[in-house]
């Protein structure tokens, strides 16, 4: 072991488990790719002000959880705690909203950083795949995103997840609700910290996980009862559209989520096998965010799904993904001449798209066969001087143990047809 360990709250993705993470990212991206979403990649850090304004000065993410740094040049940067603000910043900077028709549909995949108290499912470095549809107000777009996330989870074989849905209102009706909620909250018996929250971000108080607080919230006014006609109709359309595609959801009138920028549609995907960190993904509409970061009015909607927690959800449900073999063929040369020939053959197989590996390090037959076994290869190719003199190699089926002699000139096609 080296003197160093991965920093607290982080872990390394190593084979073979890492293959599952790649497959999860791919499964989430696949429905997006066939729905008109283009891939975007932004830097791992941004100007700290982007998140302060975009995510919200009063959120835990900004006040407590950001990794911030001052560069030698005096720039104030933050490791990105989430994707939406960066993606919107990049889209505005590249004028994507002016370049073609709206919405601009983008997807991304990457690392995010939050200084949180580590526990199972909550890390300081984690991975998300996200999607944003920028510049259109259309219930069908909200519905599309919810359906695509649902399809992604289903394609992975997950069953025990639930979709929670709510509307957070808009600039017209939310302030009225906010004032009513503040009135109600001020009459409760709450600690100093929570009282302060009533002034800055009263909706977040609804999110408080403590029993003593939740008990007092029983009679709290609900945003549902304050929605303006526009928001109510919009929400009804979203519900209708996802229901029509057979996607089941639950209305959660208290769902507010931890970021300030959400308006109207808000949703979360939760998995019941994960304990306290049950949210596997979430998102919603953020009609005001573009203006908050200095852009034009661009009503938008998006989500981010957590890769780490999706993998935990697969484990909780006992789902094993059908992953392609890392190695299909493993070459075991006996002697110098055979090393040259089989090394060339491995190159040829790879060019033909066959996953092939080689017994490196001059191993003897026994150690080389052990390596072939460990690699998970379906077939081993073994050849020594006598085989080569006859123009053949031995092809060993690693499952049945059967071995046959195959002419060197036919080995590539033979393997291809055997692997189908």
Residues near ligand AMP (CB under 6 A): 82, 114, 116, 122-123, 126, 128, 258, 279-282, 304, 306, 308-309
Q: Which is nearer to ligand AMP, 37 or 286 (CB)?
A: 286
Q: Least Å distance between CB 121 and ligand AMP?
A: 6
**Integer Cα distance of 189 and 186 in angstroms:** 8
Q: How many CB atoms lie within 10 A of CB 26?
A: 15
**Integer Cα distance of 375 and 358 in angstroms:** 10
* Residues paired with residue 358 on neighbouring β-strands, in sequence order: 331
According to the annotation, is 262 in a ligand binding site? Answer: yes
Minimal CB distance residue for ligand AMP: 306
Q: Which is nearer to ligand AMP, 230 or 258 (CB)?
A: 258
- Cβ–Cβ under 8 Å, residues 21 and 127: yes
Q: Which is nearer to ligand AMP, 115 or 184 (CB)?
A: 115
- Cβ–Cβ under 8 Å, residues 174 and 223: yes
Q: Which is nearer to ligand AMP, 307 or 349 (CB)?
A: 307
Q: Least Å distance between CB 220 and ligand AMP?
A: 22
According to the annotation, is 132 in a ligand binding site? Answer: yes
DSSP letter string, 365-400: HHHHHHHHHHHT-SEEEEE-HHHHHTTEEEEEETTT
Q: Least Å distance between CB 21 and ligand AMP?
A: 12
**Integer Cα distance of 246 and 161 in angstroms:** 15
Q: Least Å distance between CB 312 and ligand AMP?
A: 9
Q: Least Å distance between CB 89 and ligand AMP?
A: 16
CA 276 to chain centre: 19
Q: Which is nearer to ligand AMP, 170 or 308 (CB)?
A: 308
What pairing do the DSSP bridges indicate for beta strands 76-79 and 45-47? antiparallel
- Cβ–Cβ under 8 Å, residues 41 and 106: no
According to the annotation, is 82 in a ligand binding site? Answer: yes
Q: Which is nearer to ligand AMP, 146 or 369 (CB)?
A: 146
- Cβ–Cβ under 8 Å, residues 80 and 69: no
Q: Which is nearer to ligand AMP, 116 or 207 (CB)?
A: 116
Q: Least Å distance between CB 329 and ligand AMP?
A: 37
Q: Decide: helix, strand or coil at residue 261.
A: coil
**Integer Cα distance of 368 and 380 in angstroms:** 10
- Looking at the chain, the number of H-run helices and the number of E-run strands are 17, 16
Q: Least Å distance between CB 128 and ligand AMP?
A: 5
Residue numbers in the known binding site for L-histidine are 82-84, 114, 128, 132, 257, 261-262
């Amino acid at each position: 072991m080296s003197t160093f360990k991965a920093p607290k709250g982080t872990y390394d993705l190593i084979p073979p488990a890492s293959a599952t993470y790649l497959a999860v990212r791919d499964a989430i991206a696949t429905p997006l790719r066939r729905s008109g979403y283009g891939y975007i990649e932004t830097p791992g850090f941004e100007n700290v002000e982007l998140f302060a304004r975009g995510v919200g000065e009063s959120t835990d993410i900004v006040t407590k959880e950001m990794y911030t740094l001052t560069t030698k040049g005096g720039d104030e940067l933050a490791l990105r705690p989430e994707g939406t603000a960066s993606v919107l910043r990049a889209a505005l900077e590249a004028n994507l909203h002016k370049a073609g028709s709206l919405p601009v549909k983008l997807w991304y995949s990457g690392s995010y950083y939050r200084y949180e108290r580590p526990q199972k499912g909550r890390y300081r470095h984690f991975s998300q795949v996200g999607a944003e549809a920028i510049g259109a107000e259309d219930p069908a777009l909200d519905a599309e995103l919810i359906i695509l996330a649902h399809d992604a989870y289903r394609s992975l074989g997950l069953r025990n997840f639930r979709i929670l849905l709510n509307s957070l209102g808009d600039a017209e009706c939310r302030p009225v609700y906010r004032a009513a909620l503040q009135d109600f909250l001020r009459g409760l018996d709450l600690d100093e910290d929570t009282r302060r929250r009533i002034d800055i971000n009263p909706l977040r108080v609804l999110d408080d996980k403590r029993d003593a607080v939740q008990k007092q919230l029983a009679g709290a006014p609900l945003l549902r009862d304050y929605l303006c006609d526009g928001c109510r109709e919009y929400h009804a359309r979203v519900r209708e559209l996802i229901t029509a595609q057979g996607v089941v959801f639950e209305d959660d009138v208290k769902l507010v989520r931890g970021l300030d920028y959400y308006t109207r549609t808000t949703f979360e995907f939760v998995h019941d096998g994960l304990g306290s960190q049950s949210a596997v993904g979430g998102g919603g509409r953020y009609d005001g965010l573009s203006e908050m970061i200095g852009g034009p009015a661009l009503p938008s909607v998006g989500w981010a799904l957590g890769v780490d927690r999706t993998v935990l959800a697969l484990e909780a449900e006992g789902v094993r993904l059908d992953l392609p073999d890392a190695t299909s063929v493993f070459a075991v040369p006996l002697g110098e001449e055979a090393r040259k020939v089989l090394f060339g053959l491995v190159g040829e197989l790879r060019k033909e798209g066959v996953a092939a590996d080689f017994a490196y390090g001059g191993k003897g037959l026994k150690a080389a066969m052990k390596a072939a076994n460990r690699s998970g290869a379906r077939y081993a190719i073994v050849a020594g001087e006598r085989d080569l003199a006859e123009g053949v190699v031995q092809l060993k089926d690693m499952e049945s143990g059967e071995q046959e002699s195959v002419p060197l000139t036919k080995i590539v096609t033979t393997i291809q047809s055997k692997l189908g």
